[in-house]
């Protein structure tokens, strides 16, 4: 029975588990959460992709990390960047990696993408 449960849990675990930060909509009732995901690359030369969906649910600047496939990336979240209605996310991957672009500025209700690449030097 233990072997069956272990096998079942391995089968139900995604091959590439993504990492996600969710800002929940607690006020408007629209159920539109903002999300920042570090996930399987959508660019064939990248090792990971960052997708930020910006909805109107933030209230403060933040610093946090997400990990995908052993790569831990630091994110600096700037709420109401330049006192406007958009948010900026600065992406700081670990040594040996690079983010392109290294920051994304996203208006309310929009989505933006960046990619993490292995840095091969110049």
Q: How far apart, in whole angstroms, are the C-alpha atoms of residue 45 and residue 66?
A: 20
Strand order in the sheet with 71-78: 62-68, 71-78, 86-92, 103-107
Mean pLDDT of the chain: 84
Is residue 39 pLDDT above 90, yes or no?
A: yes
In the predicted model, is pLDDT for residue 2 greater than 60?
Answer: no
Give residue 4's pLDDT band: very low, low, confident or very high (50, 70, 90). Answer: very low
More confident of the two residues 60 and 3: 60
Q: How many other C-beta atoms are found inside a 10 Å radius of the C-beta of residue 1?
A: 5
Res 75: pLDDT: 97
Report which secondary-structure segment, H or E, holds 39. strand 34-39
* Cα 36 from Cα 94, distance rounded (Å): 18
Residue that is written with structure tokens 């570090």 in the block = 38
Query: What CA–CA distance (Å, rounded) separates 86 from 105?
Result: 7
17-26, 54-63, 91-100, 109-118 — which is least confidently predicted?
17-26
Asked whether residue 8 carries a pLDDT value surpassing 70, the answer given is no
Residue 3: is its pLDDT beyond 70? no
Helix (H, G, I), strand (E, B) or coil at 7: helix
């Amino acid at each position: 029975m233990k072997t069956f449960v272990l096998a079942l849990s391995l089968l139900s675990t995604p091959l590439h588990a993504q990492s996600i930060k969710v800002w929940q909509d607690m006020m408007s009732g629209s159920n539109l959460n903002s999300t920042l995901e570090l996930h399987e690359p959508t660019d064939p030369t990248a090792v990971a992709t960052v997708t930020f969906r910006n909805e109107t649910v933030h209230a403060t600047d933040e610093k946090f990390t997400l990990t995908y496939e052993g790569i831990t990336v630091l994110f600096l979240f700037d709420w109401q960047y330049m006192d406007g209605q958009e948010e900026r996310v600065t992406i700081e991957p670990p040594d040996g990696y690079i983010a392109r672009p290294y920051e994304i500025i996203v208006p309310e209700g929009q989505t933006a993408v960046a990619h993490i690449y292995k840095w091969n030097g110049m």
